[in-house]
Amino acid sequence: MENALSAEPALTLDVARRVLDSGPVVTVFGEPMLDGWWHGSSTRMAREAPAPIVRLGRKDSVPGGAANTAVNLAALGARVRFVGLVGDDEPGAAVRDLLAEAGVDVTHLLAVPGIRTITKTRIVVADQVMVRLDEGNDVHPSEALDRLAEAAVAASEGVDAAIVCDYGTGMLGEPVREALRTRAARPPLLVVDARNGIPWAPLRPDLVTPNAEEAGTLLGAPLRSGTDRAGTVAAEASRILAASGAAAAVVTLDRDGTVLLEQDGGIHRTWARPASDKQASGAGDTFASALTLARAAGLPLPVSADFAQAAADVVVSRSGTSVCSRDDLLRHLAQFADSALAADDLVRRLAGERAQGRRIVFTNGCFDVLHRGHTAYLNQAKRLGDVLVVAINSDDSVRRLKGESRPINPAPDRAEVLASLSCVDYVTVFATDTPIPLLERIRPDVYAKGGDYTIETLPESEVVLGYGGEVRILDYLADYSTTAVVDRIRTPAPVTEDVARLEARAKRGRRSPIVERRAGL
């Protein structure tokens, strides 16, 4: 999984394009479903029962369950194989046709007589789901499960990644789990998205994606709404990873975004972009699909989580079981490409945020070469309120502060990278040496600054405290700084014995692949 994308520190439009153009081969194992969205109108109640009479109009059928995951992957540019069972019935044929139309390989989608394809039909009136009708049984003949296990092994050969989508119907039971556990060739990346991740722990997945309820199952206790669920997840990281058997986990918390947990103790938070309430379904499938694609393409885990969050933000703003396509995601990310707001625009936007009762957090800096210290700091700042504003020094201001060799990246590029982080809500550029004039205009509730400062040494403190605001000094990661990163880049790597030997061979006319790469050939 190590490639040029492995070094990317943040999600930019260019990084997203390279991921979407990578075209990995991904196998999806899971329960295919047919989602029905039947729309109608209702103006009166039935005489025979206290129930509304619905006059049906448009009927939409789309792939649901694991089939939705497969369609999302295909729409994002992956080459997808699907493994699952459907009934030998009309809904099963519809699922097969819809998957094939989306470009998914359905060679290993098995039609089994005697079982009914799982369907979930929602009756919608005036954008309100009135009732959901579920059909399909959870009983699968042992012979069918044995065939499915064989298909799962065959479909996972030669792939870049595989994702398990287990909704707990019994389809992905012990025969399939054992076949995948004992297969000769393991995919480079195994992702498990399961209602109950514990039975999948023996497979030692690279990544699991439990939601809040599923994380509660792993912990043996629910994550209660109205509490600091993200904080609980971070505190229980070792237990979640141990119970799932995974190298890493991304716990999805709907409106609260996600929390990435890594074995080395690394924690990364993503933040969901606010969206109006819609009857959306399947955003978790979109997130898991985009996360799998990004990791298969070689993006680091934190950036992969941001990539997946962006895709999920696209679908939660829509109604029904929705799909995020390549073009959808690029259009969404393009909003942040020219993302630095002028001061007047920022003041107007923040007035609207305050009118909705949101707490404004402000921080500032050069943010020249984004690194882990920056992202950890910005996530800390976001947790102090509801809206995070990041003000960056203009190029001239950076030169005055850091010298003529800086900035490395111009202000528009720095603004785009910062705006792509899900924890950042607004970015602006200021030309003065301090952000005091800007602070006097927007008067944030909290002014946050890194731990290499104190309240007493900050010239901004007097202004913020004077209007009744709060100054917070955040943790300082001493091992991370832009200067240190730049110094490492500019310092030639030591020539090892192996590299010296290869360069000597190249001088004798036998050029090695490593030397060719170093030479840019």
The residues spanned by each domain of the chain are: 12-43+51-334, 340-485, 491-518
Hey, which of 293-297, 329-333, 379-383 has the most confident mean pLDDT?
293-297
Q: CA dihedral defined by 99, 104, 106, 111, rounded to 10 degrees?
A: -20
- Helix-helix angle 326-334:13-20, to 10 degrees: 170
Q: Which residue has the higher pLDDT, 453 or 181?
A: 181
Q: Which residue has the higher pLDDT, 148 or 316?
A: 148
Indicate if the alpha-carbon torsion angle 390, 396, 397, 402 is positive or negative: positive
How many C-beta atoms surround the C-beta of residue 182 within 10 A?
9
CB-based contacts of 430, cutoff 8 Å, min separation 6: 343, 364, 391, 392, 393, 394, 397, 437, 438
Per-residue pLDDT at 477 exceeds 60: no
pLDDT of residue 517: 32
The pTM of the full predicted model, rounded to 2 decimals, is 0.79
* Model pLDDT for residues 244-273, shown as the tens digit of each residue: 999 999 999 988 899 999 999 888 999 887
CA dist., res. 202 & res. 44, Å (int):
55
- Give the C-alpha distances (Å, rounded to integers) separating 31 from 20, 106, 133, 217, 254: 26, 13, 17, 20, 22
Does the active-site annotation cover 285? yes
pLDDT of residue 478: 53
- Binned at pLDDT 50, 70 and 90, residue 450 comes out as confident
Helix (H) or strand (E) holding 447: strand 446-449
pLDDT of residue 516: 34
How buried is 488 (Cβ within 10 angstroms: 0-12 exposed, 13-18 middle, 19+ buried)?
exposed
For the segment 24-50, the average pLDDT, to the nearest whole number, is: 95
pLDDT of residue 454: 87
Q: Are 197 and 214 in contact (CB under 8 A)?
A: yes
How buried is 412 (Cβ within 10 angstroms: 0-12 exposed, 13-18 middle, 19+ buried)?
middle
**Beta strand 128-135 with 118-125: parallel, antiparallel or unpaired?**
antiparallel
| CATH class assigned to 340-485 | alpha beta
Q: Are 105 and 91 in contact (CB under 8 A)?
A: no
For the segment 217-231, the average pLDDT, to the nearest whole number, is: 91
CA dist., res. 114 & res. 127, Å (int):
36
The owner of tokens 């990364």 is: 268
* Model pLDDT for residues 165-175, shown as the tens digit of each residue: 999 999 999 99
- Active-site annotation holder among 285, 306, 395, 445: 285
Both structure tokens of 51: 């129930």
Share of the chain above pLDDT 70, in %: 88
Per-residue pLDDT at 179 exceeds 70: yes
CA 400 to chain centre: 38
pLDDT of residue 330: 94
- Give the C-alpha distances (Å, rounded to integers) separating 383 from 210, 231, 278, 445, 472: 22, 10, 26, 13, 12
* Model pLDDT for residues 370-388, shown as the tens digit of each residue: 888 888 889 999 999 999 9
End-to-end CA distance of the chain: 22
SS3 state at 427: strand
Task: Summarize the chain as % helix, strand, coil (round to 5).
Answer: 40, 25, 35
DSSP code for 236: T
For the segment 297-324, the average pLDDT, to the nearest whole number, is: 90
CA dist., res. 82 & res. 488, Å (int):
45
* Model pLDDT for residues 70-95, shown as the tens digit of each residue: 999 999 999 999 999 999 999 999 99
DSSP H stretches of helix in 245-339: 283-297, 301-316, 326-334
Both structure tokens of 433: 């040496």
pLDDT of residue 274: 65
For the segment 108-117, the average pLDDT, to the nearest whole number, is: 95
CA dist., res. 190 & res. 204, Å (int):
8
Closest C-alpha among 66, 113, 116 to residue 91:
116
Let me know the angle formed at the C-alpha of 175 by 170 and 176, rounded to the nearest 5 degrees.
Answer: 75
How many C-beta atoms surround the C-beta of residue 131 within 10 A?
12
- Binned at pLDDT 50, 70 and 90, residue 515 comes out as very low
Q: Which residue has the higher pLDDT, 246 or 345?
A: 246
Indicate if the alpha-carbon torsion angle 228, 234, 240, 244 is positive or negative: positive
For the segment 283-302, the average pLDDT, to the nearest whole number, is: 95
Average pLDDT of every residue of the chain:
88
Cis? peptide before 494, omega within 30° of 0: no
For the segment 271-277, the average pLDDT, to the nearest whole number, is: 69
- As its CATH architecture, domain 12-43+51-334 has 3-Layer(aba) Sandwich (3.40)
Per-residue pLDDT at 337 exceeds 90: no
Residue type at 385 in one-letter notation: G
**Main-chain phi, psi angles of 342, to 5 degrees:** -70, 155
